[in-house]
Chain A
Amino acid sequence: MDTFDNLANGIVAVATPMNLLLLLAGVMLGMIVGVMPGLGPSAGLAILLPLTFTLDPTGAVVMLAAVYYGAMYGGTITSVLINTPGESATVASTFDGYPLAKQGRAGPALVMAAIGSFVAGTIGAVLISVASPMTASLAATFGPPELFLVVILGLLTLIVIIGGNRLLGALSALIGFAIATVGIDIGTGQQRYTFGSVELINGIDFIPVAIGLFGVGEILHTLWRGGHLEKLAYFNVSARSRDFWPTGHDLRESAGPITRGSFLGFFVGATPGAGATVASLMSYNLERSVSKTPEKFGKGAMPGLTGPEAANNAASSGAMVPLLTLGIPGSASTAVLIGGFMMWGLQPGPLLMTQNPEFAWGLIASMFLGNIMLLLVNVFCIPAFASIARVPFRVLGPAIIVICVLGTFTVNGSIVEVAIMLGCGLLGFFMRRFGFSPAALVIALVLGPMAEESLRQTMIISGGSFGIFLDRGTSRALLVLMVLLLVLPLVTVLIKRAAARGIARYGAMRRRRARRSGGLPGGEHTPPATTDTVADSTDREPETERVDST
């Protein structure tokens, strides 16, 4: 229980009026930066890091934690409102977040995402206190073979995401893999597909591609379909403020996804490398396979947003475990944080927690308080953000293009990246029009290089033998997990079908009995109705499957 005391002390130490002000400023600033397409949490942290050098280390870390959470949430806002993920970890949030916004439910979607992030952040802070020794020893068993398997777990979600047209979806993913091979080959130092351009030797970044495919592609597609002629707003947003808040149904529906996403996210996030992106995709996959209504996913299902949101937030707590216990950065954002530590004269490493406990626990406490602050700020700000959805497209469209161009440019000051972004915008338009899957492309782009790199490293280590995957304990466990995840959807379908059949049989029996007893008594109206809908869905299920497999 020592750890809880530490956490409590950390919170008390951090919660001074000055620090709370920094927290507020950080959350607001982070959110504003995060809402700029292109500036995700790691870029946001990088831009705002120099501002914190004037503060004392505790104040700086408070502010940075706040910026981190603010920027992450800013990315969620753009994912939901303009279909543009700010970093690879929020790609999954666009799948159902944007459809929700288009149905006029931007407010509830943003509030539910904030609640999901808050719960996940809280669970994450508690898990850091309780589970970090265990998680750290797990993270220390991760070599290239394990990383490869985790990346493959992430890539398996492509099967779920591709949905509609399998052929074009697979082709989209292959285009993503192809784009991912641009740049210097880490294995040999050779250049691939750079055509002599210095700008391309580090490869094509996720950010311009995602902004182009999602954000600009969506704008072009809406323009082509005449969105500027819509009399009303871009989205069917109702003016009633009550509709900005989630319903009880939303909350009940999301409780499970948020809890599962938090635990999944924390442990996947603790693995250096793939972390938050894989965690959010796995959560989406998981929620779809356990959902009673998987056909709603991709068309505005609340669990499809809240699960991945919780997962990517918990993953950011998870990434703190290797940082604080091993001194190893688990993600791009924690790498920036490590740079900050060194600037403040702190030595990142396993001893950080024993030598500077007030700092380490201050960091964890600020993450926790940052979450609370974010939720509070959001209660006031979400109506304002969601009202963006009420701006007519004819104004919003060009404005988003400007923001996308400037946002992309500021990340690296590179005009080539702006050109890539706009080119991908055009590609995104055609992909949308002809039924390709932009999501599959960006996921392949993010995970493809990791898969290639870790497989090649594995093969060097093993001397070319695949037996290495069976020799190592963690890798064996991951293989088992992979098989489970592949089998789980099949099993749930079978169970669901069996259960539905049972209920239908029971309903039919009751109906027969009711008929025999001569007409239905007034109070018995509901049971037959429910049995009918169940029977209905059992009838429909094989049909949707057939559509999917063709």
Chain B
Amino acid sequence: MNLADTARPATRPSGRVAGWVRPKTVFLAAVLVVLAVYTEMAFALEWRTQAGRIGPGFFPRVVGIAGVALTLWGLVAAIRSPRDDEVVALEDEVGEADLGKHPRLLAIMVLAAGVFAATLISLGAIISSALFLMVMLSLLNRGRHVVNAVIAIGIPLSMYLLLQTLLNAGLPEGILPRF
């Protein structure tokens, strides 16, 4: 599991080279689909109320149609001049070291966060956040086992003590006893 290191050379080109399907085009297409469904549903809502005033469907229709139009425009622009998003990315990263791209780590983080949220209630706030921290820290902060363990237990515990024990703000205790 030498993820962080292997990820770097393997994935570096994918962010830079224009492949068969460019990420931005895919994202815009996804936005287009969502907005199209949104607009479709907006037409099921009334345009005007019985009294002839602005109805519940008015704003969704305006927003939906404008959104679909702008997304289409953005898609056309993105397909015609693929370099634009490179410019944006470069502008953003001025003065920052290029450390490669890490889509696999990103995917693991997203997945781990999803599992974390899904187990929050059943396992409880302390255990599920400690597990999440342990997994992520063992990937990102390699070799520092003691530090990682202290952080992974310390942060969830202090959050729980502050929010639940002190302020009674409602964190799930899960399989641990409530305190």
Contacts and interface: CB of A to CB of B under 8 A. Distances in A.
* Chains A and B in contact, CB within 8 Å: yes
B45 interface: yes
Contacts of A216: 113
Nearest to A455: B54
B52 interface: yes
Contact of A224 (B49, B106, B147): B106
Interface residues of B, number: 75
Contacts of B73: 167
Interface string B4-40: 1000100000000000000110011001000100100
Nearest to B71: A171
B101 A434 contact: no
B68 to A, nearest CB: 9
Contact of A402 (B46, B84, B132, B167): B132
B123 interface: no
Chain A interface size range: 35 or more
Contacts of B151: 395, 399
A175 interface: yes
B70 interface: yes
Contact of B56 (A170, A192, A223): A192
A452 B59 contact: yes
Interface in B38-93: 38, 41, 45-46, 49, 51-56, 59-60, 63-64, 66-67, 70-71, 73-74, 77, 84-85, 88-89, 91-93
Contacts of A434: 23-24, 27-28, 85, 88
A229 B133 contact: no
Given A178-B38, A220-B109, A220-B110, A228 B137 contact: no
A398 B108 CA distance: 12
Given A230-B99, A405-B113, A178 B64 contact: yes
A96 B90 CA distance: 19
B136 A177 contact: no
B88 to A, nearest CB: 4
What are the 8 tightest A-B residue pairs by CB atom distance, in nearest-first order? Answer: A226-B99, A435-B88, A398-B136, A394-B140, A185-B56, A174-B67, A410-B169, A228-B140
Interface of B: 4, 8, 23-24, 27-28, 31, 35, 38, 41, 45-46, 49, 51-56, 59-60, 63-64, 66-67, 70-71, 73-74, 77, 84-85, 88-89, 91-93, 96-97, 99-103, 105-106, 109-110, 113-114, 116-117, 120-121, 125, 129, 132-133, 136-137, 140-141, 147, 151, 155-156, 159, 162-163, 167-172
Interface of A: 32-33, 36, 39, 47-48, 50-51, 164-165, 167-168, 170-171, 174-175, 177-178, 181, 185, 187-188, 190, 192-193, 216, 219-220, 223-230, 392, 394-395, 397-399, 401-403, 405-406, 409-410, 413, 415, 418-419, 422, 425-426, 429-430, 432-435, 448, 452, 455-456, 459-460, 464
